[in-house]
A and B are shown apart, each in its own frame.
Chain A
């Protein structure tokens, strides 16, 4: 829903880094996105194509690694992702505790040409 704002901040950060290290061109941007980060790939790509022409990131590849929301079950001492409309452990049916809320939105790395 807010991918344009996300992409604006993303490109600002990438351009600042490219300038800092004296890169001529950004070839790829590697992102980590939680499944709960409220960002859709297609929409992000749409704004990427719209906002990058004429910038150091024009033509770069956008790679997205998705991460899941995870819980820990005190019953079986295992981590799990919810499989139904509750947050219960699929094995024990105990309600676990969230360990990763899946909202991360990180620029893991960039590949540059200099």
Chain B
């Protein structure tokens, strides 16, 4: 006779992906490579940011890039032309996000010993990639001013989960009615610890400060300090280039 019972699991649905991500992380750590998972909407400037950042780093020749796109290899060719040591193009064939298993395969094709830094450019999407760990040390959210200051309210998950945020196209801020105060208010309600860099990939404004921060090897999982004021890690664009 059969019996029925309830088994408590308390397991993450994406546990299978998390385990693959943890394996990726061990490979990256063992090779001394820091990986940045770059998440943004299409057109926010992910590839432009990678190219601009490489040019501002001391050793652009030790930067690798994994490009995630639904189709094509335009971005991989762009970063190679800009001097990346290696670029692997992943075509997801319709999937809205990269998964840890895809990145594991891409890592097989890279000489990690030749790299210090690895950008993993996710599929252009401000929603889905947030939920899939890849094994990265840093989750970077890129927003451009042209998308509007309301995005942290509309897409809170990525702003809550990011280790660092770049606000791109800052040269357009006055043309697109981007309300800086509302943007910072919403981001800081979600995330007090992520530094925010205001930059322009077109003019280069703010790129050096961001590249310096990235190069300095900031703690990826810094806990918020007790009593930390909401705005004290904000960097403003004025006076930074």
Contacts and interface: CB of A to CB of B under 8 A. Distances in A.
Contacts of A27: 4
B130 interface: yes
Contact of A103 (B17, B95, B96, B130): B130
B9 A105 contact: no
Contact of A13 (B5, B11, B95, B161): B11
B13 A107 contact: yes
A9 interface: yes
A41 interface: no
Given A9-B15, A86-B185, A112-B7, A24 B2 contact: yes
A105 B10 contact: no
Interface string A42-79: 00000000000000000000000000010100000000
B189 interface: yes
A112 B125 CA distance: 38
Contacts of A37: 131
B25 interface: no
A114 interface: yes
A71 B185 CA distance: 14
Report, as a range, how many residues of chain B touch the other chain.
35 or more
A69 B176 CA distance: 29
A9 B190 CA distance: 28
- SS of B interface (majority): mixed
Contact of B14 (A1, A6, A36): A6
A18 B117 CA distance: 41
B90 to A, nearest CB: 15
Interface string A1-28: 1100110011011000100010010010
A113 B4 contact: yes
CB-CB nearest 3 A-B residue pairs:
A87-B189, A101-B160, A105-B13
26 contacts: A1-B127, A9-B14, A17-B11, A36-B156, A38-B157, A71-B189, A85-B153, A86-B185, A86-B186, A95-B188, A95-B189, A96-B189, A98-B160, A101-B190, A103-B130, A105-B131, A106-B11, A107-B10, A107-B12, A107-B13, A108-B8, A108-B9, A109-B8, A109-B9, A114-B3, A114-B5
Interface of A: 1-2, 5-6, 9-10, 12-13, 17, 21, 24, 27, 31, 36-38, 69, 71, 85-87, 95-98, 101-103, 105-114
Given A36-B157, A108-B8, A109-B6, 11 more contacts: A9-B13, A9-B15, A9-B17, A10-B13, A13-B13, A31-B13, A38-B130, A38-B157, A85-B153, A96-B189, A110-B9
Interface of B: 2-17, 95-97, 99, 125, 127-128, 130-131, 150, 153, 156-157, 160-161, 182, 185-186, 188-192, 230
